[in-house]
Amino acid sequence: MNEVLHTKDLLIGYNGQALMPEINVCLNEGDIVALAGPNGSGKTTLFKTLSSTLKPVGGEVSLFGKPLTDYSPTERSSLFSLVLTEKPDDLFLKVFDIVAAGRYPHLGLLARLRADDKKIIYDSLETVGISHLVDRNFVSLSDGEQQKVMIAKALVQDTPLIFMDEPAAFLDYPSKIELVNIMHKLSREKKKTILFSSHDLDLLLRHADVMWVVAPQQPLRLGTPKILVGQGIIDMYFKPIVAKEEFFWMN
Amino acid sequence: MTTDSITRQRTPIALISITIVAIGVVLFVLNLMLGSVSIPFEEFKEAVFGDATSTYHAIIFDYRLPQAITALLAGIGLSVSGLLMQTLFSNPLADPSLLGISSGSSLGVALVVLLAGGLGGVSVGTWALWSTFGVAMAAFAGAFLVLMLVLALSSRLRNMVSLILVGIMIAYIAGSVTDILKFFSQKEGLHSFVIWGMGSFSNVGKAQLPFFAATILIGIVGSFLLFKTLNLLLLGERYAENLGVNIRRSSMLIILVSGFLTAIITAFCGPIAFLGLAVPHIARFLFRSSDHKLLIPATAFIGMDLALFCNLIARLPSFEGNLPVNSVTALIGAPIVLWVIFHRQKVLK
């Protein structure tokens, strides 16, 4: 197994304050790992630290055996791609333009798309099943379709590692299943390594292979959903939310 | 479905482009023909291609040609500058004046025209009327200082909204100092300051035109070199960063290019309102696109058309050639923006 990412005594947080104890995890080629935790548990903080948006409070993130900080922004753009919760909101931005932008790190000064670049763009649109939307304005699409556009953008960027921040949020159930299927297809056919975050317990328990579970001031725990449930970790880490919801229904 | 069978819809880019350029050529010729003295077409032809000694020849080549070229260049520069600002701040209301650069040039002009008049006790105002180049230099100095200040501050601020606020505050400070100077100034100085503030394309003489044209050209080439970064910024800062954009360095470059264009044009033509705000919207709407590779040239040519049109209106015979350009640009620009806003919902399908 080829190692893609590992962390060494990583401390995440803001202003020198660590959110949770040291994190030592690793991702191998083709892994699909779910970063799970209730809202406000530090998922996004860990995400931003792994994708070099945030500096770690302590410790180190390594990609392909080299510290993240040793890579230039251009080098990083060919190592990992992002699918984020924030979406482009420009009114005239076309699906094709967004996906083509993912190809920019591979293009020259004039960003001229060669025939093989176009093929990669069309292939990626087809992989996620939105070929028919190529000339639509991005803002006119549904949440599920927009999510697929951003995944297609990540695909044409052609990076071994893809980070997806809450990709299932705002999706209806069929779209969630479709998303999970797309992720498995990418891992199986294209050997992509995917780390996605979610607070959707239902989705995680049914469809995640491996989970990293986080909560404030708790050590990160990892395992299959079955093992984590068996150990009572899910119960403990997600408890505060469940309790609040029960309280809400009782009223 | 194979990838070859994906059919793409196309906006008729070539057709729209040719129309825009053709309109520009017609407006350019009309700018040379019409004015306080209207030149009939036959005599216009003769003055341009034949008789170099006719009075019309002098009117066309010494007065109207430099003015038309200035209008065209200013229209191009301000519009592209506005496009850069709108993309950088992802704000459809952004325009070249957003960062306080025009206010800076106003302050520069105020300092020279008003304060010099007050201190010297002589009628420096009259001096300023003929020395348009001196006024331009003062305006450029003011704009340049503000630009440097904004650049220095932008390297400390990560947040674009903070940067807009900084620009607005600088504009307020420059504006209030200008007002204080106005309060203490003499009539003549005040008069030439007000004239400068109305905007005019007739201040760039034949001698300064090559310099003016060269600087605008540099700015436009600079803008075009930034088109990849601008396209990536449309996706949002984090996506852009992930695609290799150094956000801080890129925003400084965009501010530098946009501010440089604004500074030069404001220095020579006064603070021209609305072109920079309106034209990028027209370009996006006409071409149904956000791709800066297309938008930068499109914005440039539409800006050229609109500036030539505004100059033509401002100089219509019935206005005796002296309507302030600024009131014309706003009068024409604002309804266009309104029209675009109300029609763009249709585009979204």
CB pair distance less than 8 Å for B1 and A126: yes
Size of interface A-B (CB pairs under 8 A): 99
pLDDT band per the 50, 70, 90 thresholds, residue A242: low
pLDDT in tens, A66-117: 999 999 988 999 999 999 988 998 888 999 999 999 999 998 888 889 999 9
Percent of chain B with pLDDT over 90: 34
Which residues of A fall within a CB distance of 8 Å from B290?
90-94, 97
Strand-strand pairing, A210-213 and A221-223? antiparallel
Amino acid symbol at B88: L
Closest-approach residue (CA) in chain A for B89: A90
- 3-class secondary structure, B308: helix
pLDDT of residue B120: 44
What is the per-residue pLDDT across B83-115, written as a single tens digit (0 to 9) for each?
999 999 888 888 888 888 888 988 988 888 776
Percentages of chain A per state (helix, strand, coil), in multiples of 5: 45, 20, 35
B4 — pLDDT class (breaks 50, 70, 90): very low
Record the tokens describing residue B149, joined without a space.
Answer: 């200040």
For chain A, the average pLDDT equals: 89
The 8-class DSSP code of residue B61 comes to I
pLDDT (average), residues B270-281: 90
Mutate to test the interface with B, among A47, A91, A142 (most CBs of B within 10 A): A91
What is the predicted pLDDT for the residue at B128? 44
pLDDT above 70 (res A122) = yes
Stretch B143-161: mean pLDDT, rounded? 83
Q: Is the pLDDT of residue A183 over 80?
A: yes
Residue B232 has a pLDDT of 95
Q: Which residues does A158 contact at the CB level (< 8 Å), separation at least 6?
A: A78, A106, A120
pLDDT at B119 over 70: no
pLDDT of residue A13: 92
| Contact check, Cβ <8 Å, B235/A82 | no
Identify the band that residue B27 occupies on the pLDDT scale cut at 50, 70 and 90: very high
Helix, strand, coil in percent for chain B, rounding step 5: 80, 0, 20
A240 pLDDT band, cuts 50/70/90, is low
pLDDT of B242 above 50: yes
Q: Which own/partner contact pairs does A135-138 have at CB distance under 8 Å and 24+ positions apart?
A: A135/A94, A135/A95, A135/A96, A135/B8, A135/B9, A136/A94, A136/A95, A137/A91, A137/A92, A137/A93, A137/A94, A137/A95, A137/B347, A137/B348, A137/B349, A138/A87, A138/A88, A138/A90, A138/A93, A138/A94, A138/A95, A138/A98
Q: What percent of chain B has pLDDT over 70?
A: 89
Q: Which residues contact B110 (CB under 8 A, 6 or more apart)?
A: B177, B178, B181, B182, B185, B193
Residues in A whose CB is inside 8 Å of some CB of B read 51, 53, 73-74, 76-77, 80-82, 84, 86-94, 96-98, 101-102, 104-105, 107, 109-111, 119, 122-123, 125-126, 131, 134-135, 137, 139-140, 153, 157
Average pLDDT over residues A193-222: 89
Which residues of B are less than 8 Å from A123 in CB distance?
A: 3
* pLDDT score at A244: 52
Interface of B with A (CB under 8 A): 1, 3, 6, 8-9, 90, 225, 227-228, 231-232, 234-236, 238-239, 241-246, 284-285, 288-291, 293, 344, 347-349
Q: Which of A106-110, A137-141, B55-59 has the lowest mean pLDDT?
A: B55-59
Name the strand (E) or helix (H) holding B343. helix B325-347
Q: What mean pLDDT is predicted for residues B219-227?
A: 95
Digit-coded pLDDT (tens) for A33-72: 999 988 888 898 999 999 988 999 999 999 999 999 999 9
Task: State pLDDT tens for residues B279-303.
Answer: 999 999 899 899 999 999 999 999 9
Beta strand A161-164 with A193-198 is parallel
Grade residue A162 by pLDDT with cuts at 50, 70 and 90: very high
Chain-chain contact of B238 with A101 (C-beta, under 8 angstroms):
no
Per-residue model confidence (pLDDT) at position B114: 72
Instruction: Determine which of A241-245, B293-297, B306-310 has the lowest per-residue pLDDT on average.
Output: A241-245
B29 half-sphere exposure, CB direction, 13 A CA radius: 12
Condensed to tens digits (0 to 9), the pLDDT of residues B158-212 reads 777 888 888 888 889 999 998 888 887 777 777 778 888 888 888 887 888 999 9
Query: Is the pLDDT assigned to residue B28 strictly greater than 90?
Result: yes
One-character DSSP codes across A199-220: --HHHHHHH-SEEEE--TTS--
Q: Extract the runs of DSSP E, i.e. beta strands, from chain A.
A: 3-11, 13-14, 17-18, 26-28, 32-36, 58-63, 66-67, 80-83, 161-164, 193-198, 210-213, 221-223
Residue whose pair of structure tokens reads 């404030």 in the numeric block: A216
**Residue B348 — pLDDT band, cuts 50, 70, 90?**
low
Lookup: tokens for A211: 């989970």
DSSP 3-state of A58:
strand
